[in-house]
Structure 1
Amino acid sequence: MQDQKVVIGSEEWCSFPALGIPKIKARVDSGAKTSALHAINIAPFRKDEENWVRFDVNPIQKNVKTVLHCEARLVGRRIVKSSSGYKEQRYVISTDICFDNQTWPIEMTLTNRDSMGFRMLLGREAMIGRMLVDPSQSYLLGQPTSEELKTVYRDAIQAKSGLRIGLLASNPELYSNKRIMEAGESRGHDMHFLNIKECYMKLDGHNPEIHYRGGKILNDFDAIIPRIRPSITFYGCALTRQFEALKVFCLNSSKAITQSRDKLYSLQLLLNHGVDIPTTGFANSPLDTDDLIKMVGGTPLIVKLLEGTQGKGVVLAETKKAAESVINAFKSLNANILVQEFIKEADGKDIRCFVIDGKVVAAIQREALPGEFRANIHLGGTASIIKPTQEEKRIAIKAAKAMDLKVAGVDIIRSSKGPLLLEVNSSPGLEGIEGATNKDVAGEMIKAIEKNFKLQKTS
């Protein structure tokens, strides 16, 4: 009967209970036969001897941070021709749709609708016998407020058992930090940026706490991702230790970060684990400068401040006189330095292997710009994809394990003696390696948390 049909406008809000989608805005199109849902990361799988498909949905227009992880029974595949004439093969699912408290099963295709105005297209097959369309009207069945949307999406994401993850860092606008936040949210986790300088702690044998500026207590996190700038290593590691005392899983431990930041100690640890490095010398007195230079094979050589970071406090001394001058100048300031052989045959190149949870997930070759020297370290220039050798992968994984780091940027240089390890970074940047390799390194970090959190809970 016509009077039993629901009258809808050209745009309406609907929901998909079985998919866990509480609200999604749909474009009503009686000219389209089949309905379509925006979906990304689509992957078929078997469940109960049937074909199913997993996919992620960004239910809000122009919002990639809100992500719901869904799965549905797979009906099949279908060739769909768009209004522009483009043909695409899509997965077809069957699920229940809900309009105005009425629910019925429909079939719809999965496709990336980022370029479209609506995340959902409601076709005529889903409406036959149930709806009448008044194209002059919109949202006849009601429209949620922005606050209502925030609430229903937050509840939906939490219902999917996401973890509460804190990113302990300094700059929320840094590419690496933004990517990690996005990656965590895209996998359904409740992500929080925690500014190191705004955290403080209560040391108490019975009731230890971590507070955030304003008095908010931060004791309810499942996991923490420490990304600590070298200049605040001491305080950042103290906070990480406090989270560890609260039995919160930390992707890199405070001990691992602390020892990775001590250049001399880290090199000694690496050597003790059988990882080769460029010949390096360390002395306390200027009286030993001459023998120190000979020890590393003479000039040219590299002088590195122990407290220096990411290329700062590094000098290339090309002659013995220059080396003596630089070493003695640093010593006169009571600065601790390392003296290291210069690997000329590397020709201004090094390899950065990104290790996550004992696996090299991405690698790039970095090359200095013309006219720059590299002093056995990365000073900038260009980055390109490279396939590291098995030996280079072995060294990278072994180095990360020696430092007890689950996430590490391992820098390797190719020499006539074979690959040599230069440095292990406990807070490696993501921009260069994701840009060059087009790999979701941030997502791999979140997956490592999921895996290790489960292991921690079952052990």
Structure 2
Amino acid sequence: MTNGEFNKLIVGSEEWCSFPDIHIPAVKARVDSGAKTSSLHAFNINTFRKGTELWVSFEVHPLQNNRKVTIRCEAKAVDRRSVKSSTGISEKRYVIQTTLNLNGQQWPIELTLANRDSMGYRMLLGREAMIGRMLVDPSSSFCLGELNQDKLNEYYGSTSNQTSGLKIGLLASNPDLYSNRRLMEAGEERGHEMIFLNIKQCYMKLDAENPEVHYRGGHLLSSLDAVIPRIKPSVTFYGCALTRHFESLDTYTLNSAEAIAQSRDKLYSLQLLLKNGLDIPTTGFANSPMDTNDLIEMVGGAPLIVKLLEGAQGRGVVLAETKKAAESVINAFKSLRANLLVQEFIKEARGKDLRCFVIDGKVVASIERQASPGEFRANIHQGGTASVVKVTAEEKKLAIKASKTLGLKVAGVDIIRSDKGPLLLEVNSSPGLEGIETATGRDIAGEMIRAIEKKLNWKPAMPEAVATNNLETEQV
């Protein structure tokens, strides 16, 4: 071992560090020499000017598995670069330069700012920050010392949970999905009692004088202030029936059963949108194979899109590049007695579309989704990428009017840019949070909880609560 190596820090796979310039006294870092650039958890990221310099303000939850503690930071932006995570989602991230303090030694490093709620560690220490300064022993942890809870309480104060707010049920199917975890966390961090309700384990009593909803084991769900329906397509009928029953009990639902049912019927929702003067790609629908040829010509011929009415997250959507291929796909779907739409192909979109997230009649965030190589449709669930985009006033107006037309208080509105102007693709009543929160750094789950508070005239008294623990690494 050389003299230089004797002077290097020996670190494990995880270590505690701090950032004095942005007032973070302690954060646990995942040490990962496979990642080039270091990354810090950040949300509510906004830019502003100090003279001619671009700065960013952002908020940080510095403690792993805890979203009660929030620190607001400001730093000069030194770059904005494209980053691709291990999940395959890429987005543009702001880069800051700040001082890293590790075991009393300090030096400047670059940090990309990213929402790391889907990952376990609030900080990722990449190899650019390590070069010439440390050696990694991946079999060890906290080679530079561990911080106990007393020390963390000294830095951040007590972080015990309190629930003095509303009682909110999350009506969904899988508690481990990112969106469902985030909604549970967002409610808890604002002092509410959050209850996960598995749709299939709820059942109803229909009675004129005493209607009820019961949960597994006979537990009576009678004291909920609000319900957030997150209903997957395969249980739409029963999920809407439950939501409707909660409404009959005067429980506030973030989206109504009627609005969800309308949005899930793709044909009916398109008819409603058109009736209200909203533009969509030219679309055809038929029930007989004899109409296949005219159906194809109706939308301008091939290439065209064939969609299953019951499809979700890009499944059941096929690009037919020739008339013969279109006939084969349409007749194959019809032979299975599947309801389908055919839609004109917007070539100039180049595999891109927009997702506008609407809450209470306002676009709170928007992203542009790019199809993965070889695909025609943008879909981050199938390897596509997402990046922050500034939508036009016309696109915002389109998204807001679409959600209002279907009666949705929360909606993911998909728009495609064409030579004719923006066109509506569809409106989703249970839009996913991971892609848009990761790309924008916005606390969308928190915005949904605040919409409930506003409707029920509840004034927030608590800051933040609990987070996730799903280890992932990223590469720049």
More displaced 10-residue stretch of structure 1: 193-202 or 328-337: 328-337
1:120 to 148, 154, 176: 154
Would the alpha carbon gap of residues 378 and 281 (structure 1) be closer, same or farther in structure 2, given more than 3 Å must change? farther
Residue identity opposite 2:163 in structure 1? I
Q: Which amino acid aligns with 2:366?
A: A
Residue of structure 1 equivalent to 2:78: none
1:139-288 equivalences under 5 Å are: 157-158=163-164, 162-288=165-291
Moved more, 278-287 or 341-350: 278-287
* Aligned residue in 2 for 1:306: 309
> Deviation digits for residues 386-434 of structure 1, max 9, x if unmatched?
0001111010001000110000000000011110000100000000000
Q: Give yes or no for contact 1:399–1:410 (8 Å, CA) kept in 2.
A: yes
Residue number in structure 1 paired with 2:86: none
Aligned residue for 1:359? 362
TM-aligned CA deviation for residue 65 of structure 1: 5.5
Q: 1:334 deviation in Å?
A: 2.1
Q: Aligned pair in 2 of structure 1 residues 121, 339: CA closer, same or farther (>3 Å)?
A: closer
2:428 maps to amino acid: N
Decide which of 425, 430, 437 is 1:427's aligned counterpart.
430
Residue 115 of structure 1 deviates from its aligned partner by: 10
Cα shift readout 1:216-261 (whole Å, capped 9, x = no counterpart):
1011000000000001001111110111010000000000000100
Distance in 1 of aligned mates of 2:265 and 2:189: 35
Retained in 2: the 8 A contact 1:67–1:186? no
Q: What fraction of aligned residue pairs are identical, expressed as a percent? A: 70
Match of residue 296 from structure 2 = 293
User: What code does the residue aligned with 2:445 have?
Assistant: A
Q: 1:23: which partner in 2? A: none
Change (3 A) 1:321 1:421: same
What residue in structure 1 maps to residue 418 of structure 2? 415
CA–CA separation in structure 2 for the residues paired with 1:190 and 1:372? 43
Q: 1:394 aligns with which of 394, 397, 422?
A: 397
Q: How much does 1:84 deviate? A: 6.0
Q: Which residue of 1 aligns with 2:454?
A: 451
Cα distance in 2 for partners of 1:339, 1:379 equals 21
Structure 1 residue 446: deviation in Å? 0.4
1:64 is matched by which residue type in structure 2?
Answer: N
| Residues 189 and 284 of structure 1, relative CA distance in 2, 3 Å threshold | same
Let me know the Cα RMSD of the aligned residues.
3.4
In structure 2, the CA distance between the partners of 1:201 and 1:374, relative to structure 1 (3 Å rule), is same
> 1: CA distance between counterparts of 2:280 and 2:379?
11
Paired with 1:300 and 1:401, the residues of 2 have a C-alpha distance of 32
TM-score of the two chains, using structure 2 as the length reference? 0.65
* Alignment match, 1:48: none
Aligned counterpart for 2:66 among listed residues 64, 67, 71: 64
Once the two structures are TM-superposed, the CA of residue 370 in structure 1 deviates from its matched residue by 1.5
Distance 1:371 1:331 in 2: 26
1:134 corresponds to: none
Identify if the C-alpha distance between structure 1 residues 85 and 378 changes in structure 2 by more than 3 Å, giving closer, same or farther.
closer
In the alignment, is the contact (CA less than 8 A) between 1:342 and 1:376 conserved in 2? no
Q: CA deviation at 1:286?
A: 1.5
SS at match of 1:176: helix
Matches of 2:369 and 2:155, distance apart in 1: 46
CA contact (8 A) 1:377 1:422 kept: no
Q: Classify the secondary structure of the residue corresponding to 1:157.
A: coil
Partner in structure 1 of residue 329 of structure 2: 326
User: CA offset at residue 116 of structure 1?
Assistant: 8.3
Give the Cα separation in 2 of the matches to 1:377 and 1:402: 26
The separation in 1 between residues aligned to 2:156 and 2:241, in whole angstroms, is 54
SS in 2 for 1:120: helix
Distance 1:443 1:310, change over 3 A: same
Contact map agreement 2:255 2:409 (CA 8 A) in 1 = yes
Instruction: Specify the SS of the correspondent of 1:454.
Output: coil
Matched residues in 1 for 2:380 and 2:346: separation? 10
CA distance in 1, matches of 2:378, 2:196: 35
CA distance in 2, matches of 1:246, 1:236: 16
Aligned position for 1:350: 353
Superposed CA deviations along residues 53-87 of structure 1, whole A, max 9, x for unmatched, are xxx9x9xx86526689xxxxxxxxxxxxx99699x
Q: Structure 1's 381 and 375: CA in aligned 2 closer, same or farther, altered over 3 A?
A: closer
| Contact map agreement 1:67 1:188 (CA 8 A) in 2 | no
The unaligned stretches of length 5 or more in structure 2 are: 1-24, 28-41, 44-58, 71-100, 107-146, 459-476
**SS at the partner of 1:293?**
helix
Deviations along 1:347-376, whole A, 9 cap, x unmatched?
Answer: 010000000000000000000112222289
Q: Which has the higher contact order (CA 8 A, sep 6+)?
A: 2
Report the Cα distance in structure 1 between the residues aligned to 2:184 and 2:383, rounded to whole angstroms: 26
Query: Is the 8 Å Cα contact of residues 260 and 266 (structure 1) preserved in structure 2?
Result: yes
Deviation >3 Å, runs of 4+: 65-68, 82-86, 113-116, 120-123, 375-380
Q: Distance in 1 between matches of 2:388 and 2:173?
A: 29
* 263-272 vs 299-308, greater mean Cα deviation: 299-308
Residues 129-144 of structure 1: pairs in structure 2 closer than 5 A: none
Q: What count of residue pairs does the alignment treat as equivalent? A: 335
For residue 120 of structure 1, report the CA deviation from its aligned partner: 3.2
Q: What is the CA distance between 1:174 and its match in structure 2?
A: 0.6
Distance 2:254 2:398 in 1: 21
- Kept in 1, the 8 Å contact 2:357–2:363? The answer is yes
- Contact 1:209 / 1:218 at 8 angstroms: preserved in 2? yes
Q: Which amino acid aligns with 1:231?
A: S
Letter of the aligned partner of 2:415 in structure 1?
Answer: I
The amino acid of 1:157's aligned partner reads: T
**Residues in 1 aligned to 2:438 and 2:253: alpha-carbon distance in whole angstroms:** 26
Q: What's the CA shift string for 1:310-332, capped at 9, x where partnerless?
A: 21211111111111111122222
Pair member with larger Rg: 1
Question: What residue identity is the alignment partner of 1:180?
Answer: L
Partner SS, residue 219 of structure 1: coil
Say which is worse superposed, 299-308 or 423-432, in terms of deviation: 299-308
